[in-house]
Amino acid sequence: MEPTPTPPGQQLDAAHRRRRWLMFLFWGVIFGTAAIGNVLTNRIDADRYHVPVTTWHIVINEVSSPLVSLLLLPFLLMACDRWPLHTDTWRRYVPYYVAGSVVWCVLHIAGMDLLRLLGYTLGGDRYDPGNLLLQFVYEYLKDVRTFFFIVTLSHAVEWFGRQMKGEASLLAEPDEGVPVEPVDRPERFLVRKLGRDFLVATADIEWAQASGNYVNLRVRGRDYPLRSTLAALEAKLDPAVFVRAHRSYVVQLAQVTSIEPLDAGEARLHMADGTVLPCSRRYREALRAVAAGAEPAVVRA
């Protein structure tokens, strides 16, 4: 069976992935320079105050902590994607991050002690972490600051990225008077980008893709994230124009140029701009049925 091609921007779009890699590299530099700086300053202090400690002891002690933090970093960045902090979500998600800071500290201490135990053993010495409760309190007072600095910076970078990209929303229903357009069948979406508001016609949306807590609206080659579920958006779109093709995609029929069947009942949708999107077996027949009464541009398999 020929596999369904991976659609563009699956779950995380390219810009988001680039920002995440840059965040990882940024913290890699921060943790790495901190480790090197701590090794040098501890070596200097040991020589200055005649403390009998070998350099390899200092290296193990100072490198183990940032190394474990760097290994835990991808999971924290994924948590930031899973629980984004917005004005309407932060009260619900902040307790998750508080609990996550405790988990981070416990994993950090466990990983750090294991690395030190291994390093000391290989060096022919014995590592004693001391009182574990006191160690947790001491490390947590440091870890909680690092943890929330990472969380804050991660969300700040994503906020700036959304401002650069533009974030869509439904036109709000006025407090008084009749709405400008039907709220249940919006003709336009409001896109806010770099402090300016733009109106995007619903008819210009080529497809919509579920992406975490957002739905990306594809309009003329650009994606505009809308804070919504795909099911909620689908309920507001005209079913004669927009059809579900996959659990992660709703497409505008007029933008589909052909439906290419695959094995096991799946299909590929060839879009007008050359993009290929997946069509699952569950939605293929329904899409074909609606397409039968659509514009002639749709080629049925």
User: What pLDDT does 278 receive?
Assistant: 93
User: What pLDDT does 30 receive?
Assistant: 96
| C-alpha span between 128 and 120 (Å, rounded) | 10
∠ CA 88-165-184, nearest 5°, is 55
Average pLDDT value over all residues in the chain: 86
Does residue 228 have a pLDDT over 90? no
Domains assigned to the chain: 14-165 (no CATH), 204-291 (2.40.50.1020)
User: Closest by alpha carbon to 20, among 178, 168, 150, 149?
Assistant: 150
User: Closest by alpha carbon to 129, among 59, 43, 61?
Assistant: 61
User: What pLDDT does 13 receive?
Assistant: 61
Does residue 301 have a pLDDT over 50? no
User: What pLDDT does 159 receive?
Assistant: 84
Sheet arrangement for strand 207-211: 196-201, 188-193, 167-170, 222-226, 214-219, 207-211, 249-252, 242-246
Q: Where are the beta strands (DSSP E) in 27-138?
A: none
Structure tokens at 239: 């079913």
pLDDT top residue among 89 and 69: 69
pLDDT band, residue 297 (cuts 50/70/90): very low
Q: Is 226 helix (H, G, I), strand (E, B) or coil?
A: strand
Mean pLDDT of all residues in 83-89: 82
User: What pLDDT does 183 receive?
Assistant: 54
Does residue 11 have a pLDDT over 80? no
DSSP element (H, E) containing 195: none
Structure tokens at 244: 């579900």
Give pLDDT tens digits for 26-76. Answer: 999 999 999 999 999 999 999 999 999 999 999 999 999 999 999 999 999
Q: Is 239 helix (H, G, I), strand (E, B) or coil?
A: coil
Give pLDDT tens digits for 161-192. Answer: 877 878 888 765 544 444 444 556 788 888 88
Give pLDDT tens digits for 232-288. Answer: 899 989 988 999 999 999 999 999 999 898 888 889 999 999 999 999 988 888 888
